Amino acid sequence: MAEVEMVPDEHGGVTVMRDGHPQSHVDVDDPEHLVFEYVQHMAAVLDACFPGPDPIGVTHVGGAGLTLPRWVHATRPGSPQIVLEPDEALTATVRAELPLPRGHRIRVRPQLGRPGVEALKDTSAHAVVVDAFDAGRVPADLQTSEFFGHVARVLRPDGVLVVNSPDEPGWRHLADVVAGLRGAFAHTALVAMRDVLKGRRYGNAVLVAAHRTLDLDEIRRQVARWPFPSGVLAGAELTRRTASGRALTDGGSRPSPPAPDPGAWRVR
């Protein structure tokens, strides 16, 4: 059984740890307080694509502390949300120690992400958010062309897929994931901190994919509202940076690269 630990900080928030890996940061009193930079990027994308406060239907692949579902509820009250989180013990601990707000419409299903998405109805979601880790790595079956095809079916015509996809400098893995997204969606973009964009270190990239045209100027404006210096890649520049990619398939996928030991990592 996974070890779950709640680590409070001096600002009133709590970091949810699972087997020593930070999974989420939660501020129960202020759900709009987002600490992890990639969660801020995901929120920025949702704000750009679905200006509030109207409710939106969101499916989250990966739940942990339910940080982004709490944010969606706070910014778009009444939003129906499905969270696919297979770790029932983790969910029970989070519910007990970090209770959800009153009136929420967040439904946590104890399911793995892939079969959970496959079971969803066509055009049933405004957004699908993939932020799932197992032993610190994104599972292989959540990065394939086949999986992205299921997400494309589940999304509404105006829907958006948002994926947390970490990689090392060089973006060898990330390029393959982007290639898979391009096979399922007409439009793609990438959001990351500037030092990750420049290839200086391992880090999280938030990938965005949609059937509809993405308002890149608005995404950039929303990203700029948050404190971390970040950038947005799309179009020819994203194509150039990921040109070596080959889409992953169910027969030949792999988990995302593990995070390096901070004491041993150096830029190649």
The structure's pTM equals 0.94
For each of the chain's 268 residues, which pLDDT tens digit applies? Answer: 678 889 998 878 999 988 777 889 999 999 999 999 999 999 999 999 999 899 999 999 999 999 999 999 999 999 999 999 999 999 999 999 999 999 999 999 999 999 999 999 999 999 999 999 988 899 999 999 999 999 999 999 999 999 999 999 999 999 999 999 999 999 999 999 999 999 889 999 999 999 999 999 999 999 999 999 999 999 999 999 999 999 999 999 999 999 887 544 343 3
Cβ–Cβ < 8 Å for 49, 222 = no
In order of 28, 47, 87, 92, 222, the CA distances from 127 in angstroms are: 23, 11, 22, 25, 17
C-alpha angle with apex 267: 263 to 268, nearest 5 degrees? 130
Nearest Cα neighbor of 197 from 229, 221, 225 is 229
Statement: 36-241 belongs to CATH 3.40.50.150: yes
Question: Rounded to a whole number, what is the distance in angstroms from the first to the last CA of the chain?
Answer: 36
